[in-house]
Amino acid sequence: MSTETTGAAPAGAVKALVMADVAARAGVSHQTVSRVVNDHPNVAAPTRERVQRAIAELGYRPNTAARALVTGSSRTIGLITINVNQYGPAQTLIGLEAAARAAGYSLSVAILDDASLADMQAAVDRFLAQSVDAIVLHTASSPAVEALRSLDPPVPVIAVQMGAEEVRPTVTVGQEAGARLAVAHLLGLGHATVHHFAGPAFSLEAQRREVGWRAELTEAGAVVPEVLHGDWWPTSGHAAGLALAARIAAGESVTAVFAGNDQMALGLMVGLREAGLQVPRDVSVVGFDDVPEAAFFTPPLTTVRQDFAELGRRGVELVLAQLAGEDALPDQVEPELVVRASTGPPRG
């Protein structure tokens, strides 16, 4: 017995939509549909609108692999990031995805455990196999910048929040400027100096905030106290609050603290409160990031706001500039001081 194979779909199966279906609905040729899908300029506006309406009515989705073969573009940006369990990195990812989508691109994400060269190279290789148009690197660690020097993929690469201007085109939030805003605010309230509870030493963001803190104190002629380091989490802030309270009880003057991020500032204020101190009556506290909960801390937290949506938008702008063959100059998003009830003049 012989069996004859036909192209008919099994009973009950839904036939996949193809460009010919869109062409039939819009009353145009297959080539015209292809031009519209691939953003070709030589299509009359009424025809383009008719094709787009047919695409929407049918729910047609272009085959991205086939489109990449035709156009040489997958309309995809690869993002390599690390430790998105923190507010800042997570919001930067969200900002990049929204900006890429608005520009007509999708975002393919690789989340790494660390910034080793081997892991970053493996992520780059996976993206190249997907025919991405460009790669964005986002991680604020010193090892990542060193690894970045060794990467040389055949597509544009930009860095976000890494401060690797000498290596790749980059866009950052002004970390030093933000720290200066925090310190200037506290000095302006009358505090003789400002203690700093910084993030981990390997973090580029923590390093730059410390540079800004130190520079503002030095220019004001204020004493530069020893830096305390935490791990970005409230538990380390809580321990620092208890340690500072013990130093205050021993007679040391600590009236103002600039914390490296809002989560550590929260733990810090809880530790001070448990030790019998009040914020801001005894110690003023400033954070960094402006997490959504900062306005509801007890007391509401004075902090430095980072505009992650703008960071993402400018990051994608750098990508598009690179793809267009234009100069992609380093860019910086300016931070903003948000004053709330956790800061005030020193007692007495």
**Half-sphere exposure of residue 286: CA atoms within 13 angstroms, side-chain side:** 30
Residue 115 reports pLDDT greater than 90 = no
The structure tokens 């040489």 sit at 72
Domains 19-62 and 76-173+308-334 share a fold: no
Q: Smallest Cα–Cα separation from 259: which of 222, 277, 221, 233?
A: 233
Residue 10 reports pLDDT greater than 50 = no
pLDDT of the residue at 38: 65
Residue 200 reports pLDDT greater than 80 = yes
| β-bridge mates for residue 303, sequence order | 287, 338
CATH number belonging to the domain at 76-173+308-334, selected among 3.40.50.720, 3.40.1050.10, 1.10.1060.10, 3.40.50.2300:
3.40.50.2300
Kindly indicate the confidence band of residue 35, based on its pLDDT and cuts at 50, 70 and 90: confident
Strands 336-338 and 302-305: antiparallel
Give the CATH superfamily of 19-62. lambda repressor-like DNA-binding domains (1.10.260.40)
Q: Positive or negative, the Cα torsion across 215, 219, 224, 228?
A: negative
Kindly indicate the confidence band of residue 269, based on its pLDDT and cuts at 50, 70 and 90: very high
pLDDT tens, 229-266? 999 999 999 999 999 999 999 999 999 999 999 999 99
Phi, psi of 215 (to 5 degrees): -65, -40
Q: For the chain, how many residues are written?
A: 348
Would you give the end-to-end CA distance of the chain in angstroms?
Answer: 103
Poorest-pLDDT segment among 64-78, 183-197, 287-301, 317-331: 64-78
Q: Domain 175-307 has what CATH class?
A: alpha beta
Q: What percent of the chain has pLDDT over 90?
A: 51
Read off the pTM: 0.78
184, amino acid identity: A
- If one compares 224 and 26, the residue with the highest pLDDT of the two is 224
pLDDT tens, 165-189? 556 788 999 999 999 999 999 999 9
pLDDT of the residue at 330: 82
Kindly indicate the confidence band of residue 326, based on its pLDDT and cuts at 50, 70 and 90: confident
Q: Smallest Cα–Cα separation from 108: which of 147, 81, 88, 139?
A: 81
Can you give the residue ranges of every domain in the chain?
19-62, 76-173+308-334, 175-307
